Chain A
Amino acid sequence: MAKPDPANFTEEAASLPRALDYFRTMWRIRRFDETIDELFASGQVHGTTHLYIGEEAVAAGVIGELQAGDVITSTHRGHGHNIALGGDIRAMMAELLGRTTGYCAGRGGSMHIADQNLGNLGANGIVAGGVPIAVGAGLGFHLQGRAQVVVAFAGDGALNEGGFHEAANLAAIWKLPVVFVVENNQYGMSGSVHEMFALSHLADRAAAYGIPGLMVDGQDVFAVAETARYAILKARQGGGPSLIEAVTYRYKGHSKSDANRYRTREEIQNWRKRDPIERVRAHLEGEGVEAAALDAMVAEVRAEVAAALRFAEESPWPTPDTLLDAVWAPAEEGAD
């Protein structure tokens, strides 16, 4: 496996302003998904959702390295990616509540949030469904001569989908500016990576495509950021794609119906001891930031998410009269 070269790094990922940014972003993700968890648990939201709690360092660390004009494709567990991009949590909350003010006017829900203005080409309800699309975005940038990068987020389960394989090979042979970020949270629904792979390190799959495979502690946002920075810079400079395996863990079940029968409470507790947000907090306190200042930041985030929920709850329900017209993009959108 290739190693990031610190000489490529222009800014210290652990600098104080960046660390504060990570802390706030990770808390925004966590508080948003905790709120969603409460809404589902109390039956206030229908359908299903996939929570990113425990994995926040991956989205925050990778997306913090992107530049304006770069894009991502996301997954069914995608709230964190959109929040890390600076997505509108009021529109996200409203979408989960199925309201007109939601990102998709209530047509998509949890698994279908996109914000192309921020560079999110879409969450995806199909495992690995976004990966070929990410490679296509990279092909588009290549053909347009633009020095933009695409990050394709995928779970460990996605690595065993054929679409991932086809897309990774396309990116490799065409040297496209794509970084595959595999969020190895240890389980594809109930399927443990130990049962579903004959590999110890998923990053080793990269060798099959002739691209660098990097492994990083996904609970350490600084390490994630450094690794992502290396791969993103390489892609931007024409060096082609890389695959990053971020080793992480989801604290909550796969979706709302999950009774956690395939893992032990002890395992979950052990991972919680390596909490990515607590790690940043310890770092910040070590740098002299006062606990009270951090608590105030958390309180702000809680208030922001609570306000988003109120906004969503007060927003109108959609009416079916616009549905049929919503299927087709009107011709003017395609006009030259």
Chain B
Amino acid sequence: MEMTYAAAVRYALEQEMERDPRVFIMGEDIGVYGGAFGVTMGLVERFGKERVRDTPIAEEGIVGAGIGASLVGMRPIVEIQFSDFIMNAMDQVVNQAAKIHFMFGGRMHVPLVIRGPAGAGTGAAAQHSQSLEAWFHHVPGLKVVMPATPDDARGLLLAAIRDPNPVIMFEHKLLYKMKGEVEESGEALPLGQARIARPGRDATLVTYSFMVHRVLEAATLLAGEGWDIEVIDLRTIVPMDLATVTASVGRTGRLAVCHEAVGRGGIGGEIAARVWESEAFDFLDAPLLRITGLDTPVPYSPPLEQAFMPSVERIHDSVKSWLTREGAH
């Protein structure tokens, strides 16, 4: 069935709420308003105000309440209206949810999902546009999911809800209206399994979330110029499917990474380090290339915001000059 990314998220929520009475959603304006991006539209009419629960503007409170409900047998999903607002809940996310299983000696677990929109490109400026996945990637005990397609949003969200650990799912705002074919079986997709979005021979370009689509466009342009790029969509940042990446680098001999988040301290550096530490190092013929958001807050004005995010043109030009300099041909 074809549907938008936002509808696919909603579809997974509906399927799981139908299947599992322990599942409920809470967040700001998720009821009759339908959520700031319309993801939960219609759910309150179907499941009622108890299970589709409008909350005060209190991120620390509602994330903590999600943890507590999960500890007494519920499967809460907390929507953070803009994922930037999770900063208000960092104690509950980092000091509580991530650590409860470990520090209490495995006696308890936290089957909690926190999900919300991330990313730039909508003119929402510095406090409503960030890609903060590296912060959570750094904390042992949190899983981080960043689907790029409607079916991945559906299948990975189902997996997140069924997972016994806290999972954060970032949904890029520019993906919400993207359409795609969506599986109807109710089967989850495994966390920690990357997807080769485009096979290629000349270089491996690892990416995730919205950037998958820009990278694929750039790869098509590059193909017209004689370069065959393999594009890997990580889908989940934690757990990270390093095996798919190293196998690909073993075939192509070149590694590039592209993400929208700022480059400094970003996931790109981590991927590079892990490839450099792996057996794939022996196959590397070229230095690393990182194509990332600028090391700035996300700016507002359209030309500035466009410059912040890796564009198809920037990705194309960066990869082309990298390949040319390294003499791939």
| CB nearest neighbor in A for B58 | A166
Chain A CB within 8 A of B101 CB: yes
- Note all chain A residues with C-beta closer than 8 A to B70: 136, 140
Q: A143-B50, A163-B61, A169-B56 are in contact. Are A137 and B68 (CB under 8 A)?
A: yes
Chain B CB within 8 A of A333 CB: yes
| Beta-carbon contact of A126 and B141 below 8 Å | no
Chain A CB within 8 A of B308 CB: no
| Beta-carbon contact of B107 and A116 below 8 Å | yes
| Beta-carbon contact of A126 and B104 below 8 Å | no
Q: A116-B71, A144-B73, A327-B101 are in contact. Are A166 and B107 (CB under 8 A)?
A: no
| CB nearest neighbor in A for B63 | A132
| Beta-carbon contact of B68 and A331 below 8 Å | no
Of the candidates B58, B102, B110, B163, the one whose C-beta lies within 8 Å of that of A331 is B163
| Beta-carbon contact of B111 and A112 below 8 Å | no
B165 to chain A, nearest CB (A): 5
Chain A contact residue count (CB 8 A cutoff): 50
Chain B CB within 8 A of A235 CB: no
| Beta-carbon contact of B71 and A133 below 8 Å | yes
How many angstroms from the CA of A163 to the CA of B111 in the assembled complex? 21
| Beta-carbon contact of A129 and B63 below 8 Å | no
Chain B CB within 8 A of A210 CB: no
| Beta-carbon contact of B107 and A103 below 8 Å | yes
Chain A CB within 8 A of B105 CB: yes
B41 to chain A, nearest CB (A): 22
| Beta-carbon contact of B91 and A329 below 8 Å | no
| Beta-carbon contact of A132 and B92 below 8 Å | yes
| Beta-carbon contact of A170 and B65 below 8 Å | yes
Of the candidates B20, B96, B105, B162, the one whose C-beta lies within 8 Å of that of A107 is B105
How many angstroms from the CA of A71 to the CA of B70 in the assembled complex? 13
Q: A126-B91, A330-B164 are in contact. Are A166 and B69 (CB under 8 A)?
A: no
| Beta-carbon contact of A170 and B61 below 8 Å | yes
| Beta-carbon contact of B66 and A136 below 8 Å | yes
| CB nearest neighbor in B for A135 | B65
Chain B CB within 8 A of A280 CB: no
Interface residues of B (CB under 8 A from A): 20, 24, 50-51, 55-56, 58, 60-74, 76, 91-92, 95-96, 100-111, 140-141, 162-165
**17 residue pairs A–B, Cβ–Cβ below 8 Å:** A103-B105, A104-B103, A107-B102, A108-B104, A112-B103, A116-B107, A116-B108, A126-B96, A136-B64, A139-B65, A140-B69, A140-B71, A141-B72, A143-B50, A169-B56, A173-B56, A334-B163
Interface residues of A (CB under 8 A from B): 71, 73, 102-108, 112-116, 121-122, 124-126, 129, 131-141, 143-144, 150, 162-163, 166-167, 169-170, 173, 326-331, 333-334, 336
Given contacts A126-B95, A136-B69, A334-B111, 20 further A-B contacts (CB under 8 A): A103-B104, A106-B105, A108-B103, A108-B105, A116-B108, A122-B104, A122-B108, A126-B96, A132-B67, A136-B70, A139-B69, A143-B51, A143-B69, A162-B60, A163-B60, A163-B92, A167-B61, A326-B105, A329-B110, A333-B164
